[in-house]
């Protein structure tokens, strides 16, 4: 039986207005790393400070990674609908892409 842990998929808003999607097992630590410039090669390094706009907790890493990949494929409007928990808008935007 697999171990159950906490994993988080998160979206940050950078100072240039772009969004960064990531996954971690320690959200508070990871947010601090992004804002401190822990990794000079990271996307967020020159876009600090960052603001946490959204996160979701998962118990299995496979689910978290799958959701992270899904979010990375979403456009800006769809991510913003997620921030507002506007499920109708998310559905509408998803249907537009299928046409």
Convert the pLDDT of each residue in 7-62 to its tens digit.
999 999 999 999 999 999 999 999 999 999 999 999 999 999 999 999 999 999 99
Domain 7-73 annotated CATH 2.40.50.140: no
d(CA 8, CA 17): 22
Domain boundaries along the sequence of the chain? 7-73
CA atoms within 13 A on the CB side of 47: 16
What phi, psi does 4 have (nearest 5°)? Answer: -100, 130
2 pLDDT more than 70: no
pTM over 0.85: yes
How much is the pLDDT for 59? 95
């Amino acid at each position: 039986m697999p171990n159950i842990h906490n994993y988080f998929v998160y979206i940050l808003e950078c100072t240039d207005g772009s969004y960064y999607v990531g996954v971690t097992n320690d959200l508070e630590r990871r947010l601090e790393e992004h804002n401190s410039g822990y990794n000079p090669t990271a996307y967020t390094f020159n876009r600090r400070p960052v603001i946490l706009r959204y996160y979701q907790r998962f118990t299995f890493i496979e689910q978290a990674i799958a959701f992270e990949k899904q979010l990375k494929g979403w456009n800006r409007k769809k991510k913003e609908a997620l921030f507002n928990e506007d499920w109708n808008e998310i559905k509408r935007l998803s249907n537009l892409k299928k046409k």
